[in-house]
Structure 1
Amino acid sequence: MPDEKIETLVVGGGQAGLVMSHRLKQRGLSHLVLERHRIAERWRSERWDGLKFQFPNWSVRLPDFPFPHSDPDGYANTDDIVKFIDDYAAFVAPPIRCGVAVTRLSQCGGGGFIAETTDGTIAADNVVVATGPYQRNLVPDLLGDHPVFQVHAADYKNPGQLPPGAVLVAGAGASGAQIAEELLQAGRRVYLSVGRHRRLPRRYRGRDLIWWLAEMRLDQVTPEERGPARLGPVISGAYGGRTIDFRSFAADGMILLGRIEAAHDGVLDIASGLAESMADGDLVYATFLGAVDEYVRRRKLDLPEDPDARTTLPNPPCVTEPLRRLDLAAEGISAVIWATGYGVDFDWIDLPVTDAKGEAVHHNGISAVPGLYFLGLQWLSKMNSSFLSGVGDDAEVLADHILARRL
């Protein structure tokens, strides 16, 4: 027999779980939120000290709770976001238990679910999995136990954490690019491994990228409309927010590399195609600028032209004559930061709701198992599903679905 019975169990106490609680409370639906650590734990323990949020302050909000700020065009730091989520939790006042992990979720014979937790078993009619998209650090098994210092971007804190010497940042997405620039500004010799990427402007024609995404309704694009592409944009809020240009990094002394292909005794094999990856990133960038220009023309918006946005530096020598091998010891590289992304971890869900890759199978967060839902995942129903400003819409849909099951 389970230790207790509830109507809806929400697993995860980050922004998605808190928003889900808010939507359920608005409908008078009883529920319980379980968080294995603390509210917004990943914001607290898996962000580096100098991180700047990628979204301008004016765009940051949760349902019925705007982000307080004095500079609408500024970019918040981690402490600001943690305080915002803490304040939101106080506003929502969810029925939450922290320090309780769900170790197994299964289905009852007569319907409903049994959640085995570190604090007993819970029976629930509905379960919302709101554990987020960043549950498992992805680190390629290339260097193994090689003596070089290695850390995933989630565990990187600041340049002083690393031993003296040069640093290799593997991965040039939003986190990798911002960390690499921080290290360069700190006086480190930095090698940055660049693969396929989507380079977009921080601002264009006087407006932030996030403004354009909303204005052109690109943030409402669905997974079906998006197609197979899953790369996130390379943008940053650091140093006042500026467009990421890897050629500019190189001009400041950073060494760009292609994708790391293999490693043998501390010597890395670098794939060819760095120039092609840069060109592909430029094509995405130029295509976006062209789409904005066409939108401005069609809507007759009174916004200034921005010819400087199309200025491109020449390819540096590290791109025209790229390295194909990198000997860590010979180059004085003492640390490797793996900015290689994250994966989900749904191994604790003992139900047929994941695919061969272990990713959730659902439609707009609703799984094929009646009463089981997902929230807060990237591209759950549209581009902004994992944004602070977008998770509320998905939670509203799920809350309505749960309410309909009761009727």
Structure 2
Amino acid sequence: MSVEEIDTLVIGAGQSGIAMSEHLSAMGVPHIVLERKRIAERWRSERWDSLVANGPAWHDRFPGLAFDDVDPDVFPPKERMARYFEDYAAKIAAPVRTGVAVTRVSRCENRPGFIVTTSDGMIEAKRVVAATGPFQVPHYPDIVPSTAGIRQWHSSAYKNPAQLGDGAVLVVGGGASGSQIAEELRAAGKTVYLSIGEHYRPPRTYRNRDYVWWLGVLGKWDEIKITPKKKHVAFAVSGYDGGKTIDFRRLAHAGITVLGLTKSYEDGVLRIADDLAHNVAAGDAAYFDVLREADAYIERNGLDLPAEPEAWDLLADPECMTQPILALDLAQAGVKSIVWATGFRFDFSWLAVDAFDAQGQPFHKRGISAESGIYFLGLPDLTNRASSFIYGCWHDAKYIADHIAIQRNYVAYENRLAMSPGDR
């Protein structure tokens, strides 16, 4: 069986893989990008119908291509985002092969590089970039058994309210996905319960600037001037419905019953943690921190941005917060469906190399792994807070491409020394 050879193999043709291809091409590195389905597949088939980008069009893009049909301050819908990456791949002539799944990567014996087993044959690559991103395997806790008679979906399988059928719905998760899905279901006339845990809740906009702008000028994308954040805390900011600040009081006043963290299930009853007031208060504190820092930045830099005193006002606490529900009888509440907006976990089972720590997590520094020649791109906090976002992964890819080019120079030097003096 013939084995194709390539210098660098990029696995995944989402935002990370396309960004990686651009920088590798700029460095003159021969490469192939493999994608198991279509370019930007997860935007197409693994998200709900009304999903939009979490940032406005002026920000959630690569530097080399602006949206030509979306207002800069609009949050592009998911299909437009998928087409954006298709257009970008065409613009840079990215060598993408779609419909090719990678099933195993292992190190070659007695020579540099890796053997990559795919659905389309074998490839030998000097280097491999795992650009499969942070949204790999849907994850939710095994709390409600399948025998409970409750329909259960992960957010990646949820499409629209009509999919859920009759009955009330419990949405679990207080990040962008959970809050958006809960609000959409309520707008469709559903009775909705929303279970939230700890979360980071900034303003969507403040004083005529979107939060992504404040992240930039306040140094929060780079995490230079912020206190270390807890892992696995939901990021409660969304572009839904034109881009509104996620406000759990507002959702409650709109008819959504907000609950604390879902803990356990027994005999048809969900046990809910008595942490709702604490979680909301912590979210409020993060929100006001941003307002204070923004005001200080405006004053320090003499900016003429309109005051927004109403942003400091909080709605009255709704009944579900003053008298929190700690036990939810699903049958009594009429809950027939649960949507778990609880995130994803990694699956690198196909990557049979020494690039992981004792807990099975990628062991790397800025995407350069412990296994020479293996790279990771698109993971949360790969470099900083921006790494799993569209613009951030583009800059991370540039750093990794530069490292690959440097390693190629070392190999070229070694090969030159191995030549006879007359052939150098």
TM over 0.5: yes
Q: Flag the 1:370–1:223 CA change in 2: closer, same or farther, 3 A.
A: farther
2:302 counterpart residue number: 300
Structure 1: which amino acid aligns with 2:182?
A
- 1:164 Cα deviation from its structure 2 partner: 0.9
Residues 8 and 128 of structure 2 are in contact (CA less than 8 Å); yes or no, is this contact kept in structure 1? yes
- Contact persistence 1:57–1:69 (CA under 8 A): no
Instruction: Report the alpha carbon displacement of residue 222 of structure 1 after superposing the two structures with TM.
Output: 6.5
| Native 8 Å contact 1:19 1:63 kept in 2 | no
Matched residue, 1:257 = 259
CA distance in 2, matches of 1:151, 1:158: 12
1:12-31 aligned at under 5 Å gives the runs 12-31=12-31
Number of matched residues?
Answer: 407
2:115 maps to what in 1?
A: 114
SS of residue matched to 1:376: coil
Listed as ranges, the matches of 1:20-99 within 5 Å are: 20-99=20-99
Report 1:306-345 matches (<5 A). Answer: 306-345=308-347
In structure 1, the partner of 2:418 is: none
CA shift, 1:228, in A, is 4.3
The corresponding residue for 1:388 is: 390
Aligned to 2:191: 189
Q: Report % sequence identity.
A: 47
Answering whether residue 286 of structure 2 is matched by residue 278 of structure 1, we say: no
Aligned-partner Cα distance in 2 for 1:126–1:63: 26
Q: 1:259 to 1:230 in 2, by over 3 A?
A: closer
Matched residue, 1:131: 132
Query: Which runs of no fewer than 5 residues in structure 2 stay unpaired?
Result: 410-424
Match of 2:379?
A: 377
Offset, 1:243: 0.8
Instruction: State the Cα RMSD in Å.
Output: 1.7
* CA–CA separation in structure 2 for the residues paired with 1:248 and 1:357: 40
Partner of 2:144: 143
Q: Distance in 2 between matches of 1:180 and 1:32?
A: 40
CA distance in 1, matches of 2:225, 2:175: 20
Q: 1:213–1:330: structure 2 CA closer, same or farther, 3 Å change rule?
A: same
Q: Distance in 1 between matches of 2:35 and 2:124?
A: 17
Deviation at 1:316, TM superposition (A): 1.3
Matched AA of 2:151 = F
Change (3 A) 1:326 1:115: same
Change (3 A) 1:224 1:375: farther
Contact 2:172 2:340 in 1 (8 A): yes
Residues 149 and 163, structure 1, Cα contact 8 Å, conserved in 2: no
TM-score (norm 1): 0.96
Distance verdict in 2 for CA 1:224–1:59, change over 3 Å: closer
Matched with 2:400 is 398
**Contact 1:222 1:381 (8 Å CA) reproduced:** no
* Residue deviations 1:293-340 (CA, integer Å, cap 9, x gap): 111122222212211111111221111111111111111111100001
**TM-superposition CA deviations, 1:213-251 (whole Å, max 9, x none):** 122232122799745445353112122111111011111
Q: How does 1:177-256 map to 2 (within 5 A)?
A: 177-221=179-223, 226=228, 228-256=230-258
TM-score by length of 2: 0.92
CA contact (8 A) 1:223 1:382 kept: no
Q: What displacement does 1:112 show? A: 1.3
Largest Rg, 1 or 2: 2
Runs (4+) off by over 6 Å: 222-225
* CA spacing shift, 1:345–1:392, aligned 2, 3 Å: same
**What is the rounded CA distance, in whole Å, between the counterparts of 1:25 and 1:219 in structure 2?**
27
Q: 1:264 to 1:397 in 2, by over 3 A?
A: same
